[in-house]
Amino acid sequence: MRNLWLALVALIAGFLFTFWGAGALPSITARYMAIAILAVMDSAMGALRASLRGEYDRTLFLSGLFMNAAGAALLVWLGDQLGVDLYLAAVFAFGYRIFQNLGAIRSTLVLRWRQWKIRRQREALKEAVLAPLGTPAADEASPPPEGEDRATG
């Protein structure tokens, strides 16, 4: 998970440097840069989604990142050679996948929040029921001391 956050920070730093530090991009490289940014965002969102579900695999992340970037760059180059805006296909595909991953991330986070809320409510209810009896919740689960039986106490 730490590596994922490091990758996201690097992505944001690169994004900020590109737009504030380097100035304007030449028009010939602007489409390549846009596709590269979308490819990285797609891979980062997919990695975050997998990480939240406990399915993250570094090899899959890195291979997906490089294959997405290479495939998208090939589409842009081929489109430039043919005089057709083929990069739009990659823009639509990456945009769709990014929003699919964001929806899945949101669903996973909402589900975790609901589970945490239910656990908290159950713990509060257990404490509210056991407190008037003078029995701490910890005693309920702990075994009796050596040589003692719960029934004879």
The string of pLDDT tens digits covering residues 41-82 is 899 899 989 988 888 888 988 898 899 889 888 888 898 889
pLDDT of residue 95: 92
**Gap between the terminal Cα atoms of the chain:** 48
pTM, full prediction:
0.64
pLDDT of residue 153: 46
The string of pLDDT tens digits covering residues 22-36 is 566 677 788 888 888
What residue ranges do the domains of the chain occupy? 24-136
Does 102 score more than 90 pLDDT? yes
Q: Which residues contact 137 (CB under 8 A, 6 or more apart)?
A: 126, 127, 130
pLDDT of residue 34: 85
Burial label for 76, CB within 10 Å (0-12, 13-18, 19+), is: buried
The string of pLDDT tens digits covering residues 132-150 is 776 555 445 555 556 555 5
Does 108 score more than 90 pLDDT? yes
